[in-house]
Structures are given as structure tokens and as C-alpha cells.
Structure 1
Amino acid sequence: MEKADAPYLSIVIPVFNEEENIPLLLENIEKALKNFKKAFEVIIVDDGSTDNSLKILKELKPKYPWLKIVALRRNFGQSAAFTAGIDHAKGKVIVTMDGDLQNDPRDIPKLLEKIEEGYDVVSGWRKDRKDPFISRRLPSMMANALISRFTHVKLHDYGCSLKAYRAEVIKGVTIYGELHRFIPALVGLSGARVAEVEVTHHPRRYGRSKYGISRTYRVILDLLLMIFFRKFATKPLHIFGLTGGTLFLLGLGIELYLSFLKIFMGQDIGQRPLLILGVLLILTGINLLGTGLLAELVIRTYYESSGKRIYSVREVIE
């Protein structure tokens, strides 16, 4: 490994109660990268573990000089842990992976080769996945199909944590909720080049999986957020204005119809539920229009005050 102030590669691994896996994980990384010619660092983020994970990491630190430990004050979740690791990474290329030994460090060079071909993001594809079909693989397949369909960044396996990113691409992304799995789609919105390679997947040997049905529900909610990001992140008035305007006109039409019945037909409309529905639609439409205007103001203030742009430049040729 070359010695340099700024390493070429940073490997970010969040862990939560993985005391049995950590020694083997570090050993596997050492073996996988023993012939790697460039400087690298491994950043393990302890996400508020309640077992001996942090203690074991500190004990193993002298053995592995490339190891950096980031200990969070409590359990913030995987997205926050990935963000903490990425923020502390100094490498030109950042690789993320899980700490449960299901991702194989020997696949890292394969991801880096693809990055060197000119891609900004390379995502792992667990083609031969070693997880239960009904509880894990089937929901994942459905989610991957939906995400690919609505984000137009087509990947077989969004849930695979083993991914490689150019630092300038990933460091500009804010990750929260369960959005770490959507990073390829998020950077794809800015025109990043995304590729996919097959990677090895091992069955879990120690510990317990932190995934469940509730997590699948949260992923669906984040997918709705991604759809909004893709279409309306810089023009929220379009969605709120269109919806609000439609409801307003529908409510107005109902009220005009009832007014016609009252004025020209002499019918009593005071007890009609349709009267209340029309008023409700008008008020809801006005409310949505106002929300759209406020959201538009917030977006403009955000971009102008932060100095960010609504575009992303890949290169400039003069």
C-alpha cells in the first residue's frame, strides 16, 4: 500500500451489534486488499452498538493501521451511519458495504475497475442472493422493479450496500430516512453515470438481521419521495398548483351547478351533501395552491442562499 496523505480508496462500513463479525470482517479486508497498490482507509462507523462492537474495534485498531473508527452517540440508523462515514472519508473513491460478512471485500477491485472505465457509481448485484425468498428476496425484487421504473435508473439490486462512488458525486448527496439505498437514483437525477456488476453474497453467519416488514414499508414511502424528487424537486408549484387548481375548478363547478338549481329551478340545496363537498374542494384547492407557492419560495431561497445550482456539470472543455 502506498503511503499518502489522501488515500485513493475509502471503505465505509456501518456496524450495529456485530461483535462476532468484526474480527473476521477486518481480516477479510486485509486479505482482499493485500496486493492493492494504492493507499486506502477503512472507516467503520459504530452506530450506537450495545454489545462489545466498539470495544473490539478499539482493541483491533493497533493491528490495522488503515482502520479509522467513528463512534456515534446512539443508534441513528444505517443512512446516518453511512453519511457519517462518507463525511470522514478522504479517498477519491468511496466504497460502502455492510459489516455482517454477507458482502465480500474481494469484490471491491471489481467495482474499482468499473469506476476506472468512467462511471460515477457502480452498484453491486447480488445475483445469487443467500436470503429467504418470501421474507427478503421477493419484497426486494418488487421494490427494485418499482424503483427502476419510476426513477429511470435501472438496477437489479438497489438494496445491495456494496457500491463504489466517486467522492465528488457522493459527498454532494444528503442521505436521510432509508435513502442510502436510493443513492444511485439520487445522483442519477444529476446525470451521474451508473453501472452495475455482479457480486458475491454470503449467508449471515453470526448475529441477527436488522431488516423486517416495517423497513419495507419505509422503503415504499421513500420511493414516493424519490418520485417527487425526480419530477418536482425544483418546481413544486407544478404538482401542488395542478392538483389544487383541479380541485378548485371541480368544487367551483359543483357550486355553480347548485346555484343554478337554487336560482333558476327553485330547489332547496341547503341539505345537499354536494354543497359541502363543493366548498371542501374549493378550500382544499386554495390550500394546495398556497402550499405550492410557499414550497416554490422555499426552493428558491434554498438554492439562492446555499449557492447551489439546479444543474450538475460533468466537465468543461475549452
Structure 2
Amino acid sequence: MRTTAKPIEALPLEQDAIELSLVVPVFNEEESVGPLIARIEQAMAEFTGRWELILVDDGSTDATLTNARQALGRDGLELHIVSLQRNFGQTAAMQAGITEARGHLIATLDGDLQNDPADIPKMVAELDRRELDLLVGWRKNRQDGLFLRKVPSWIANRLIGRMTGVKLHDYGCSLKIYRASVIKQVRLMGEMHRFIPAWVAGVVPSSRIGEMAVTHHARAHGTSKYGISRTFRVILDLLSVMFFMRFKARPGHFFGSLGLALGTLATLILLYLAFDKFVMGDDIGMRPLFLVGIMLFLSSVQLITTGILAEMLARIYFKDDNNLAYVVREIYSTCQKNP
């Protein structure tokens, strides 16, 4: 049965409560998913609290789902597999897993074996020690190609940090630990998973977001889903993030400010031309400046009107909180407590 996600208050854990949910989106990782589950079991063997593993199959076209289901019913493993109807992308898959998670803490990691599950217990302890709401992994010794992955990520991290104000070394690392009560206040959509710290900073102070150096392995199976083109998408997504962080609840201020600026410029131009015509007696009908003034005035009216419409849509958006960016086909579960 599908679990409805609700904000979880920071209360003392009950005896049977799930302390940690591990969320792993996978897409065409048939060779990695089996070893991944084994590594997670091994890494969590000494974890004293109750934990669950949520695998989100993002519409894989290979044997990923079949191989993952082989672990259902394994002793000591509380496994849930969320199978999406088609490939919706990593962000939607991550949101699906977070929605299903029942733990007081939520950990996310990639399914390609490049993140090391052994870091998770240490990150949980560090999150509690520093009293953080989000702890981000930092792939300090990254095992990727220099020009295809490292350079674009370095550029993206600098841009994101400078423009969002959240200073981290590695925004793109999927290995993160969240407090469920915080991350479930954030709606992930599009390709915004790499901006999660920025979204979280809109819910809690940036002082409650930290990072920790983690292990990073070279990809052992399959091929990377990312390339150099990701840098350009990051720039476009970054502009969207900046808009939502600053103007999500007041988009009319953004469009209205642009409209008023253009309207002021248009007014000055048209007043100058009016003085030229009625006082100086010059012909302004064929002057390019006259056309520029008219176009600026029309653009001003359009932007102000757009701002009003955006304000109306924002109010509708905040009333409707049920739209999801994915469709679940089926959920496979084993509900066993860890010994």
C-alpha cells in the first residue's frame, strides 16, 4: 500500500520507529544493483537503529528491476522497490523515494556504486554531532574524467555557490543525509536534484547545511548518464533556482520591476521626442528612436501584465499541493525488522 508522506516532527524515536531511510534511484543498472544492495547491507550491519532501503527503478529497460526483486524477503533487510511507469529522470525518482520514506532521517545515494554506503553511518553521526538538517557529501578525490566530469562540475559548483549563497565544494554529490521533517517540505521537480542544498536553504538557515568528505569510486559497470552538455543545463536550471528562491511567492515583483524600468525609459524617450516635435518643430515620424520608445512602452505593459498573471498563478500553486512529477506503477516491499 502506498504511504502518504507527511512532515515528521523532531521527536524522540519510538522503539519500533524507523531511524533512517536509504533512497537509491536506479536506471539501467542491472550489473550494479545486486552488489549495491550487498554493500549497503554490509555497511549498515553495525547500525544500531532500524533502517529501510528504498530502491526507485526509474523505468529501466534492462534487468535492473528483476535483479533488485531477488533481494526481496532477504533476512534482516527491509526493502521497498518503487517501480516508476517510465523514465522520469533522477530528480523525480529521488522525490518518489523521499515521498515513500518513513525514517526520521533520509539518506540518498547513486545506484552506480560510485558512492560508498560505508560513509552513511559516519555521516549520520556527523549530522547529529553538528546539529545539522542537511549534510552533503564532498567527493574530495573524485574518480572521474577530468574534462568530461571534473571541470564542468567545478564550474557549476562555483556558479551555484556564488549565485545562491550556499557555499559547498560539491553540489552534485548524491550522497546526502537529511532530516525528513525538512526535506519533505521541499518539492523536487525538473532536473533540480543538484540544487537541493539551495532549496533546503529556503526552508532552514544555511548554517544548518554542512558538508563532509566522502569516498568516491570509479564506475565499475555501465556508462555514465551525464556529459559535458550538463554544464549548459546547469546554467539554465540555476537561473530558474534564483528566480524561485527570490520571487517564488512574489513573481509580480520580478516582472513588474522590469516593466517599470522599461516604462520609465520609454517615457523619457517619448517626452524627449514630444519636446522635439512640439517645441523644436522637428519631424519625428521616421526617427528610429520613436519606434524604440513605442516598443519599450509596449514591452513594459506586457511585463507588468505578465507579473499580474504570475501572481495569480502563484496563489493557485500554493493552494494545490498534490501535483507530482512522476507516476508509480507498482511497489514491492518486505517489511521485516532488522535483528
Q: Do they superpose with TM above 0.5?
A: yes
> Residue 172 of structure 2 is aligned with which of 122, 147, 159?
159
| Number of matched pairs | 305
In the alignment, the residues of structure 1 paired with residue 74 and residue 283 of structure 2 have an alpha-carbon distance, to the nearest angstrom, of 87
Equivalent in the alignment of 1:136: 149
- Equivalence map 1:214-229=2 (5 Å): 214-229=229-244
**Which secondary structure state, in structure 1, belongs to the residue aligned with residue 73 of structure 2?**
helix
In the alignment, the residues of structure 1 paired with residue 250 and residue 71 of structure 2 have an alpha-carbon distance, to the nearest angstrom, of 50
Q: Which sits farther off after the overlay, 266-275 or 202-211?
A: 266-275
In the alignment, the residues of structure 2 paired with residue 19 and residue 286 of structure 1 have an alpha-carbon distance, to the nearest angstrom, of 55
- Equivalence map 1:87-236=2 (5 Å): 87-117=99-129, 118-192=131-205, 193-236=208-251
In the alignment, the residues of structure 2 paired with residue 46 and residue 296 of structure 1 have an alpha-carbon distance, to the nearest angstrom, of 37
Is 1:75 the counterpart of 2:84? The answer is: no
Equivalent in the alignment of 1:311: none
Shift of 1:62: 2.6
Which amino acid counterpart does residue 75 of structure 1 have in structure 2? Answer: N
Which amino acid counterpart does residue 209 of structure 1 have in structure 2? Answer: S
Shift of 1:233: 2.0
Q: Deviations over 1:242-301 (max 9, x none)?
A: 211010111111112122222222222222221111111001111111222222333345
Q: Which sits farther off after the overlay, 283-292 or 124-133?
A: 283-292
In the alignment, the residues of structure 2 paired with residue 290 and residue 53 of structure 1 have an alpha-carbon distance, to the nearest angstrom, of 49
Q: Which sits farther off after the overlay, 276-285 or 96-105?
A: 276-285
Is 1:28 the counterpart of 2:39? The answer is: yes
From the superposition, tell whether residues 66 and 48 of structure 1 become closer, same or farther in structure 2 (CA, over 3 Å): same
Q: Deviations over 1:192-214 (max 9, x none)?
A: 41010000000001000000233
Gaps of 5+ in 2: 1-13, 322-339
**Which secondary structure state, in structure 2, belongs to the residue aligned with residue 131 of structure 1?**
coil
Shift of 1:121: 0.3
Gaps of 5+ in 1: 307-318
> Residue 41 of structure 1 is aligned with which of 52, 59, 79?
52
**Which secondary structure state, in structure 1, belongs to the residue aligned with residue 137 of structure 2?**
strand
Which amino acid counterpart does residue 47 of structure 1 have in structure 2? Answer: D
Does the 8 Å contact 2:32/2:221 carry over to 1?
yes
Equivalent in the alignment of 2:7: none
Which amino acid counterpart does residue 90 of structure 2 have in structure 1? Answer: Q
User: TM-score scaled by structure 2?
Assistant: 0.86
Across the aligned residues of Structure 1 and Structure 2, the Cα RMSD in angstroms comes to 1.8
> Residue 53 of structure 1 is aligned with which of 45, 64, 71?
64
Q: Deviations over 1:43-69 (max 9, x none)?
A: 000000011001111122233632110
Which amino acid counterpart does residue 38 of structure 1 have in structure 2? Answer: G
Q: Which sits farther off after the overlay, 256-265 or 133-142?
A: 256-265
Q: Which sits farther off after the overlay, 287-296 or 48-57?
A: 287-296
Q: Which sits farther off after the overlay, 225-234 or 114-123?
A: 225-234
Which amino acid counterpart does residue 89 of structure 2 have in structure 1? Answer: G
From the superposition, tell whether residues 129 and 207 of structure 1 become closer, same or farther in structure 2 (CA, over 3 Å): same
Q: Which sits farther off after the overlay, 205-214 or 187-196?
A: 187-196
Which amino acid counterpart does residue 246 of structure 1 have in structure 2? Answer: A
> Residue 84 of structure 1 is aligned with which of 96, 103, 117?
96
Q: Which sits farther off after the overlay, 54-63 or 296-305?
A: 296-305
Does the 8 Å contact 2:152/2:228 carry over to 1?
no
In the alignment, the residues of structure 2 paired with residue 47 and residue 303 of structure 1 have an alpha-carbon distance, to the nearest angstrom, of 28
In the alignment, the residues of structure 2 paired with residue 300 and residue 78 of structure 1 have an alpha-carbon distance, to the nearest angstrom, of 28
In the alignment, the residues of structure 2 paired with residue 256 and residue 183 of structure 1 have an alpha-carbon distance, to the nearest angstrom, of 48
Which amino acid counterpart does residue 91 of structure 2 have in structure 1? Answer: S
From the superposition, tell whether residues 87 and 305 of structure 1 become closer, same or farther in structure 2 (CA, over 3 Å): closer
User: TM-score scaled by structure 1?
Assistant: 0.91
Equivalent in the alignment of 2:252: 237
Does the 8 Å contact 2:26/2:58 carry over to 1?
yes
4+ residue runs over 6 A deviation: none
In the alignment, the residues of structure 2 paired with residue 209 and residue 267 of structure 1 have an alpha-carbon distance, to the nearest angstrom, of 66
Shift of 1:182: 1.0
From the superposition, tell whether residues 79 and 242 of structure 1 become closer, same or farther in structure 2 (CA, over 3 Å): same
Equivalent in the alignment of 2:290: 275
Equivalent in the alignment of 2:22: 11
Which amino acid counterpart does residue 168 of structure 1 have in structure 2? Answer: S
**Which secondary structure state, in structure 1, belongs to the residue aligned with residue 23 of structure 2?**
strand
Equivalent in the alignment of 1:316: none
Identity %: 52
- Equivalence map 1:298-313=2 (5 Å): 298-303=313-318
